[in-house]
Each structure stands twice: as structure tokens, then as C-alpha cells.
Amino acid sequence: MLHQYDRRARSQRARRYARRSYAPAHAGGLLRTIPARVRIFSGIQPTGRKHLGNYLGAIRQYVEGQDRGDPAIYCIVDLHATSVAYDPRALPDYVYDTTAMLLAAGLEPERCVLFRQSDVREHTELCWLLSAVAAYGDLTRMHQFKDKSERDRELVRTSLFLYPVLMVADVLAYRAHEVPVGEDQRQHVELMRDIALRFNATFGETLVVPEHRIPALGARIMDLQQPDRKMSTTASEQRGLVYIDDEQRAIHKKLKSAVTDSGSEVRRAPDKPGVSNLIDVLAAVRGAAPETIEEEFAGGGYGAFKTAVGEEVAELLRPVRERYAELRPDEAALEQALAAGAQRARAIASHTLADVRTAMGIGPRASSLH
């Protein structure tokens, strides 16, 4: 049994973390409670070059979050990358690629905490501890596990199965309120909430229950060649994705040859997944309603529309690509930024871990240390 005072102290602490500076606000006509200053956390895989879907669905939100985050914490999740077949010699380079890409997109190490997951050992320890409140049945229902285990049947790694729990640990270790992600991560964030609630109910109020932040536009960009599937770092073929650092001409070409249906009308419809996707892309690039895109390009045919999308996407990504080319060669500077970020991250995560360990009865009894 937990000592009553331990319980009360922990529950007060958790309330402090969860409610600090929360204020009521109107959102979408509903009165709901949103924090005035939030702790933000998100992770991104260093699986090679990142793409337009990552940029519109996640990275743009990371940049915006720097002003609201208390702090905004962003993690290059190299441990997650080992859950599918990968090249160990290339992985360190991929981490630098992704770091340089995030900095080029606008992250500033002084305004956020940017670090490499494996530098903060608390993530893996918390993953194991949270496994004690993660239901096996829930993990078997994860879409991503089903999709990725289908793709590589030769070896379905246990780490692919445990991936969502590590992701839960990534976020809960920082007592984050908000998790900016694309639509494909909705289920994983639900799992985070379930696990945090179950942990608190079982061991006493310790963890913050986070909420996803999925953008209204650009949350699910589809593969240009297979518009029924999301644009994906590991599943899409070269022609199906626009890399953030693609040359202008390559971007024009890829959008020109994007799959569309046999009609000619620029409008969204369930039987027009290719055109619908391009409308969503342009809407997200401009920050405009998809209806305004449909009106603008009505009657103009696919050709002119695809050219316009190609040009605007290329123009959006151009400054990021140029800055990336400047930043990527200086690996010492990238490493330095990551190391400094890890130090700040560890300072937060180690507190949470200490509380989680105490709550779970792991390690010496607190009273025997005095």
C-alpha cells in the first residue's frame, strides 16, 4: 500500500503539472479548457530524407509551437528507427539529416529543446515501466503495427510491436500537454491518454494526460502515385513523395506526373483521390480553404492546376532546402546542438522518472534514504 501522505503529495504534484496556468477558452463553439502555456512534445524519425507530408503535417506545427511551448520539446527518435530493417552505418547520418532539416525549417535551439532520443536513457526505462499498464490487446489493434508488419513479414520485430509504448514514454516523460502530429498518429496519442489514465488510477496521480494537435490542413498528405495511401518515408517510392530538399525541377516533375483520374474537374470527391490530395496540398501550402482552390481552378483542367501546385510547393520548400544545404555539412555544430538539447531534456525527464519509480515501488523506499 502506498503511504497516504505519499499519495497526497504526488496527487498535488500531478495537479500542479496538469493544471498550471490552464484557462477556459472558446474553441469551435464549445467551452473547453486549454492551457495558456503548454508543454509541447513531438518526435520524428530519422528514416532518411523527410517529405512534404512531414512538413505540412508536423514540422510546420513544431516551428509555430516554439512560441507557445513551455518548453516545446522535439526529439529525433533514432530508437524507433530500429523497429524495421535499417542500415546501422547510415543511421547516425540520418539523425544529422533530420536535425539539419528541422533547423532549416525554423527550429532554433534557444527557443526549443531539440535532442536525440537515445541520448536520454529515461525513455527506454519508462517504456518498460509503462508496459506494466499497456494492454497487450490494445497494442495488437494499432494500425501502424498492422501496416508495417505486413510489409516485412520476414522478421516482425518485437520492437515494432512495442513501438507505441516507447512513443507513449517519449511524451509522458516530459509531462507534455500537447502532441503536434499528423492524422496517422491519432491512434497512438489515444493510447498515450489511456496509458497515462491507467497509470494514474493504478499508482496515484503522477502523469499528465496529453492531447493531440492535428492541423486542420495538411494532416494527411497522400502518396502522389498511390493516392489511397499516405505519403510515407518508408513505404512510398521516390516518385510518390516530394522530399523537402528536392530540387525545384524535381518537384515540378513529380507533381506534373501525380496520378489523377480520367476526368478533368478540379474538385474533391471520394472517387477522385489524386485530385483531392492535390487540392488539399495546395490548401495547406496557402493556408486557404480547399473550396477556394476548387473555385479558382474550376474549368481550367488538370494540367494548369498541377503546374500551379508544383510551383507553389517548390516555392514553399525552397528556403528550407537552401538553408539545409548550408547547415548539413557542419556535423560538429549539429552534434553540439543535440547534446545541449539532451542535457535540458534529461533534466525534465529524470524528475518524471523519479516520481514514476517511487509510485511503482521501484528502488529503495524513500524513508530509508534519510
Name residues whose C-beta falls within 8 Å of residue 109's C-beta, 6 or more positions apart in sequence: 103, 337, 340, 341
Choosing from 182, 210, 227, 341, the residue that interacts with ligand ATP (CB under 6 A) is 182
Kindly state whether residue 198 participates in binding ligand ATP, applying the rule CB under 6 A. no
Residue 311 beta carbon to ligand ATP: minimum distance, rounded to whole angstroms: 21
By C-beta, is 110 or 154 nearer to ligand ATP? 154
Choosing from 60, 123, 177, 230, the residue that interacts with ligand ATP (CB under 6 A) is 230
Kindly state whether residue 45 participates in binding ligand ATP, applying the rule CB under 6 A. yes
The burial of 356, by beta-carbon neighbours within 10 Å (0-12 exposed, 13-18 middle, 19 or more buried), is given as buried
Kindly state whether residue 81 participates in binding ligand ATP, applying the rule CB under 6 A. no
Kindly state whether residue 234 participates in binding ligand ATP, applying the rule CB under 6 A. yes
Kindly state whether residue 352 participates in binding ligand ATP, applying the rule CB under 6 A. no
Q: Which stretch in 229-237, 250-258, 344-352, 356-364 sits in contact with ligand ATP by CB under 6 A? A: 229-237
Kindly state whether residue 184 participates in binding ligand ATP, applying the rule CB under 6 A. yes
Burial 182-221 (b: 16+ CB within 10 A, else e): bbbbebbbebbbbbbebbbeebbbbbbbbbbbbbebbbbb
Contacts 24+ apart (CB under 8 A), 120-125: 120/173, 120/342, 120/345, 120/346, 120/349, 122/173, 122/346, 122/349, 122/350, 122/352, 122/353, 123/79, 123/166, 123/169, 123/170, 123/173, 123/349, 124/79, 124/166, 124/169, 125/353
Residue 354 beta carbon to ligand ATP: minimum distance, rounded to whole angstroms: 29
Nearest of 41, 42, 58 to residue 220 by alpha carbon:
58
Residue nearest to ligand ATP (CB): 57
**Neighbouring C-alpha atoms within 13 Å toward the C-beta of 356:** 28
Kindly state whether residue 221 participates in binding ligand ATP, applying the rule CB under 6 A. yes
Kindly state whether residue 293 participates in binding ligand ATP, applying the rule CB under 6 A. no
Residue 231 beta carbon to ligand ATP: minimum distance, rounded to whole angstroms: 4
Name residues whose C-beta falls within 8 Å of residue 311's C-beta, 6 or more positions apart in sequence: 252
Residue 5 beta carbon to ligand ATP: minimum distance, rounded to whole angstroms: 41
DSSP lists the bridge partners of residue 44 as 76
By C-beta, is 117 or 206 nearer to ligand ATP? 117
Query: Residue 12: which H helix or E strand, with range?
Result: helix 4-19
Kindly state whether residue 53 participates in binding ligand ATP, applying the rule CB under 6 A. yes
| Residues 246-265, mask of contacts with ligand ATP (x by CB under 6 A) | --------------------
By C-beta, is 53 or 204 nearer to ligand ATP? 53
By C-beta, is 77 or 348 nearer to ligand ATP? 77
Largest pairwise CA distance in the chain: 79
Kindly state whether residue 118 participates in binding ligand ATP, applying the rule CB under 6 A. no
Q: Which residues would be at the binding site for ligand ATP (CB under 6 A)?
A: 44-45, 47, 53-54, 56-58, 181-182, 184-185, 219-221, 230-235
